[in-house]
Amino acid sequence: MTTPIVIAHDVHRCVDTGTRRIEILRGLDLVIEEGEWVAIMGASGSGKSTLLHLLGGLDLPDSGSITVAGRRLDQASEAERARIRRSDIGYVFQSYNLLTELTAVGNVALPLRISGVGRKAALARARTLLAELGLTDQADGSVAELSGGEQQRVALARAVATGPALLLADEPTGALDTEAGAAVMRQLAARNDAGQTIAMVTHDHRVAAQADRILVVSDGRFVEEHSLLETRSPDFTNLVSLDGV
């Protein structure tokens, strides 16, 4: 029996506004099995993005434990968390977070170079990933000239370049039109079908329905869980924006 990729136990996270202390996560528990795709939903301010930041090692809980790929993030130093992010965690942001001074292939090769992969091998791997995402012709162009959907696919290629144990996606279709969002979802589904573990935050019920499980967070705790047994929409053409739902 495999060990879960994510184990979060009794996680608390507060923020201090200067005038009061607000509890964002209140004893939250989460387990994500290897190869599972979990969608996390909830109203704005419910704590879902805070949780994703904690799972990505971008922030630390005030108390509780977070283990990703067998490594305790809550006990790791900032430098150790950076190493874990490089080796075990890929992150797809809604705003893409691409480096505009680099080409598409340069953006995808960057995490490989940081991980110690040689330049030639990193560029070859980056080109392969971009080709898988239908971006061969855009590989050597400026990312600033790409459409939103193309930029998000570059961001996805960058996130999976090092073969992370966990892929985190924060509203991956939130800034895209229907067609571009469907293209990104097809790629996420292909990655998951190949065994990639995914934790995804979304407001869109139809996007969430492509996952294996939907978890609904409210007031810092999971209040609902839905296991999805039906098959995914094969072409994802039913995906539309439901932001705010």
Q: What is the pLDDT of residue 235?
A: 53
Strand 63-68 to strand 6-16: parallel, antiparallel, or no bridges (unpaired)? Answer: antiparallel
Domain boundaries, the chain: 6-227
Predicted pLDDT of residue 230: 57
Please state whether 220 falls in left (phi above 0), alpha (psi between -120 and 50) or beta: left
Q: What is the pLDDT of residues 162-177, one digit of tens each?
A: 999 999 999 999 888 8
φ, ψ (nearest 5 deg) of residue 132: -60, -25
Phi then psi for 185, rounded to 5 degrees?
-65, -35
pLDDT of residue 240: 41
50 close to 227: Cβ distance less than 8 angstroms? no
Q: Give residue 211's pLDDT.
A: 96
Structure tokens at 85: 């992010």
- For residue 158, what are its two tokens? 């960058």
The number of CA neighbours under 13 Å toward the Cβ of 138 is 23
Q: Tokens for 113?
A: 């170079």
Give CATH superfamily name and number for 6-227: P-loop containing nucleotide triphosphate hydrolases (3.40.50.300)
For the chain, which residues score pLDDT lower than 70? 1, 229-245
Classify residue 196 by burial, with Cβ atoms within 10 Å: 0-12, 13-18, 19+: buried
Distance of CA 40 to the CA centre of its chain: 11
